Structure 1
Amino acid sequence: MEELTLTTPALLFSAISLIMLAYTNRFLAYAAIIRNLSKQYVERQDTSILRQINNLKLRVRLTRYMQIAGISSLLFCVLTMFLIYVKLNIVAVWAFGLGLILLIVSLLFLIWEIQISAKALQHHLADIEYDLKK
């Protein structure tokens, strides 16, 4: 079995950092949309706005889970580096494996959230097409 070195978990730092930046941007975009929809709902209590808000609530929750899993993955990479430094190589391998699993979980949440986003956009397009046909 090949030995785990300090550079192996360090390689994931930039990837995880970029993923976390993308997740944060998604979260900020959702916050802006929700604030806008909230104002619209105060002006006119439209059920379509409520459906959009409910959809966004799920997407925000998934984004939070993505962020938690991604940050946890980064923490386990740092822990792995520490464990290698103090010569606890067997534990380091397990910590790194757990970090990789958490990164996979984070990406699976992202796939789920993208599917929901795409479906929401399809509903908007269908509404526009319906209005055009009138």
Structure 2
Amino acid sequence: MKELTLTTPALLFSAISLIMLAYTNRFLAYATVVRSLHDTYLKNKDSVLIKQIKNIKQRLYLTRSMQIFGISSLLLCVLTMFLIYIELNLLAVWVFGIALVLLIISLAFLIVEIQISVKALEHHISDIENN
């Protein structure tokens, strides 16, 4: 195994930052949808709206998990850099490995969330096609 240098975990900063920006945009979009669904539900207590609310709630929780794992990965990358700086290289390698695993988990949650989002949109499309 090659030696882990400060530049290796630093390379993930830009990638994780962009991912976190995308996650935050998703979260803000969901917040807007939730507010809209809330207002619509207060006017018309339709069962379809309840299904949409349950769907968006599930997606919000997934997005929260994506953010938590992504931020944890970034935090461990910073810790890795610190451990390299104080010359605890073996520990740094293990912490960086955990950071990579957390990033993988975050991206796996993103895949699940995208699948749920597509299913929700398919319901809208089929509703339009049926009418």
What is the TM-score when the length of structure 2 is the normalising length?
Answer: 0.99
Q: 1:48 aligned to 2:48?
A: yes
Within 1, Cα distance between the matches of 2:3 and 2:129? 58
Within 2, Cα distance between the matches of 1:103 and 1:88? 22
| 1:18-52 superposed Cα distances (whole Å, 9 cap, x missing partner) | 00000000000000001001000000011101100
Q: 1:122 aligned to 2:122?
A: yes
Query: Match of 1:67?
Result: 67
Deviation at 1:121, TM superposition (A): 0.4
One-letter code of the match for 2:46? D
Within 2, Cα distance between the matches of 1:123 and 1:74? 36
Query: Match of 2:108?
Result: 108
One-letter code of the match for 1:98? I
One-letter code of the match for 1:29? A
Deviation at 1:130, TM superposition (A): 1.4
What is the TM-score when the length of structure 1 is the normalising length?
Answer: 0.97
Within 2, Cα distance between the matches of 1:54 and 1:10? 39
Query: Match of 2:85?
Result: 85
Unaligned runs of 5+ in 1: none
Query: Match of 1:36?
Result: 36
CA-based RMSD of the aligned residues comes to 0.4
One-letter code of the match for 1:114? I
Percent identical:
68
Within 2, Cα distance between the matches of 1:120 and 1:28? 18
One-letter code of the match for 1:7? T
Unaligned runs of 5+ in 2: none
